[in-house]
Chain A
């Protein structure tokens, strides 16, 4: 370790009306992997935007020292010139251009304004190999998976002779396998002398790759911990992030005693769904599950296991080509061919992708909440705005949605508050069965706890809850029963008492190679 490569001293960044960063100091050692963690809205992304020149010099206070010299970046190009490259959470690749074209976009190998294809392809192949990709450089980005796209982003960074690589929640959209590969690559790059800053929510990831972690809370840097030190536990990091001891990450639940007499609230039998484009492929293959009133049933699986596809195809055939299978509500067979039918039978599906499938971001909180059940606040096709507003106010209080008024556009809220709006919307629809798809994805620890409490309460009120999640601790902490899925098929069913992370993971990875 040759001393600090980067020092950010007392950074203060103010937006009109808000102080996003009030005093952040960050020291990154040469050649280390430095994690930054903090709740959503703590200021992590803003800090990285200050560092990479998105917020140019002069719009913030404080000093940035890179490789010992004071830097005053006026834009991203300036910071990239020094070897600081940021990879944003939302990938910035052009889908219909090739891998090679993307890698050198804005930085082309050219002679007199014309692209030198021979050198482009040669160099691209070399860079792709360095990040562990064997795809042809002329493949279109749209034709490779998200996991590989993330690696292409890193190849692009390498082409800019990166010294300090910043990754903003790089594994948020990746499955465990791809995440693992990516983390290995970060460690590999570390050996080659590239320093990395990784912003992450996932504490196990931080433990795996990071050397030190800086915790940011409310725009201030709280502390920097040595990850390898024995007293740096996950609970230690979490308490730093939220500023309080978090003994219980999940609300206290008394395990549900299934009433064996009554029929399950929702039962899905022998459900098969084909891929919408590749008709031969079974995305969901002969799956049967059930959930009783007052019960929380988890579905665990890696990405591509078919959990979302199962839920969406049951919910109004909103995914894929229907194969075979029946849906029973309280023991009676029902039709769920359209969303209205599904909602009419008391089924709600809360999507994993709230921004694209859950909310109208440009519209207000009250109008988002009322959308699925407008007739409840309307008479003869006419909405009673006052009643609608009152409903929204009620949810704002009961769900603790942090917004000045219910007329705030949803797009301005933080992820956790957006998720509360989506939940409110579906609770307002008054369903008997709620299918929650990754309800805590991308939201901070405090908001997660609040959402767990809401879910618990829903079950206590006698609703049947299907809980789809990639976070095993969450499933173990919340569910009465857990199903596991792998490659479209149901692989196991565990009562809460018998499930462990290891046993679940074993079933989630079962038969994967055979079916592929």
Chain B
């Protein structure tokens, strides 16, 4: 430990070469950025390391196209929950009810489609609405009546689980209509000439790459227009190359199996959408503001109650979406569905950089955190590690991630 400390201490000093004019300021800017996002970069590195380790231990099985495809399917719902949970935690709250809520929505979907033969698109809309109502109910108690979210959602956890069992009378209910099944298990349809790859997936991947490159270039242009400092050209290029190659690898892996799972597209849209909202929308800013300092946000004219309420409504909708995905994947609604998922979602958010006092965190962080847990799960399954040890190891991973962050911050302060 001590050698590490001494080795790191000279790092802040700028290297001799970049002392010319604005260069020092820019370097400082980048170092600051790096330090601020230490948790996220650290986690990204840890994720890479975990992937590499398991790839070696499983003799490459982890990165087989079929397994990557499975990994996405298995973890999509946790990731969807983690996005919503991240918002809740940034706002300074917690939601313990999401696991039960996913089970409830699954049961509701089964009752609608299996027992009452309602067409599945209608059922999906009704389920999302049910999630919104459940979220609104909890949000009302939390935001407008001021009951702590821990209590309200603990109650919700029991209530929704109970209602699920009442709806299902303790039985599993299935199977679902084919359209709904596709949502959990399906892949994009294939068109065009036969290649060794899935054409649509390839096209989508390339489209995404083009979009990202365009976006980054435009962003850089705008910065220059406003006469703000920009990142040096070669670093900018490096960043783009890294992003492009990461997308390319995943695209090729997926395209060489059955193509992109439908749920991955849903998830991708959510990540982009929520990432944008949290970063750029006034609503997102207000979530950070109330989580960071509630009284100050109030005195700045932020409608804190409304924002809190909407954060829980949103969580309800996302939980419903996850619930549908789970039910569709299992092709049945089960009273035990989604057990402990709230804990996985919360762990994802904290591993991904959230703070228990609120005000900190990013959507991308929640995804990284969720993937760390997902790869651990999947890798240990491949190695046939029992669920007993899996839990122990995941617990340690959570503790280590947050512990590292606390240690890193303390080092920064004293």
Contacts and interface: CB of A to CB of B under 8 A. Distances in A.
Interface stretch (A238-246, A278-286, A382-390, A470-478): A382-390
A360 B288 contact: yes
B255 to A, nearest CB: 33
B148 to A, nearest CB: 18
B117 interface: no
A339 B285 contact: no
A210 to B, nearest CB: 31
Contact of A407 (B25, B32, B301): B32
Contacts of B279: 385
A342 to B, nearest CB: 8
B35 to A, nearest CB: 11
A345 to B, nearest CB: 12
A343 interface: yes
Interface string A406-433: 0111000000000000000100000000
A367 B285 contact: yes
Where chain A touches its partner, the secondary structure class is mixed
B33 A375 contact: no
Interface bin, chain A: 35 or more
A426 to B, nearest CB: 9
A171 interface: no
Task: Specify which of A338, A371, A387 lies most central, judged by the most chain B CB atoms within 10 Å of its CB.
Answer: A371
A16 to B, nearest CB: 6
Contact of A340 (B276, B282, B303): B303
A339 B280 contact: no
B282 A383 contact: yes
B29 A390 contact: no
Given A343-B301, A386-B222, A404 B228 contact: no
Contacts of A382: 276, 280-282
Interface stretch (B48-56, B62-70, B289-297): B289-297
B340 interface: no
B228 A339 contact: no
A378 B284 CA distance: 12
Contacts of A316: 299, 301
B288 A367 contact: yes
A405 B27 CA distance: 12
A399 B298 CA distance: 25
Interface in A327-361: 338-340, 342-343, 349, 351, 356-361
A349 B299 CA distance: 8
B81 interface: no
B281 A386 contact: no
B9 interface: yes
B293 A360 contact: yes
B119 interface: no
Interface in A278-335: 315-316, 318
| Max chain A Cβ within 10 angstroms of own Cβ: one of B9, B282, B289, B300 | B300
B36 A383 contact: no
B32 A357 contact: no
Contacts of A351: 296, 299
A393 interface: yes
B223 interface: yes
B296 A340 contact: no
Given A318-B298, A407-B33, A371 B289 contact: yes
B360 interface: yes
A425 B29 contact: no
Contacts of B414: 15
B292 A360 contact: yes
Interface string B1-13: 0000000010010
Nearest to A372: B300
Given A356-B293, A357-B295, A383 B303 contact: no
A318 B226 CA distance: 38
B58 interface: no
Contacts of B293: 356, 359-362
A61 to B, nearest CB: 17
B168 to A, nearest CB: 41
Contacts of B408: none
B323 interface: no
A374 interface: yes
B301 A360 contact: no
A389 B299 contact: no
B381 interface: no
B29 A389 contact: no
Contacts of A375: 282
A381 B282 contact: yes
B405 to A, nearest CB: 13
A363 interface: yes
A17 interface: yes
Nearest to B12: A17
Interface string A94-112: 0000000000000000000
Contacts of A372: 300-301
Contacts of A340: 301, 303
A339 B300 contact: yes
Contacts of A387: 226
Contacts of B360: 362
A389 B230 CA distance: 12
Nearest to B358: A362
Contact of B228 (A15, A383, A389, A425): A389
Contact of A361 (B223, B280, B292): B292
Given A316-B299, A386-B226, A404-B25, 10 more contacts: A16-B9, A339-B299, A340-B301, A357-B295, A363-B289, A370-B285, A386-B223, A386-B225, A387-B226, A393-B228
> What 8 A-B pairs have minimum CB-CB distances, sorted nearest first?
A360-B292, A339-B301, A360-B293, A372-B300, A386-B226, A340-B301, A374-B282, A343-B301
11 contacts: A16-B9, A351-B296, A356-B293, A358-B296, A371-B297, A383-B281, A385-B279, A387-B226, A389-B228, A404-B29, A408-B32
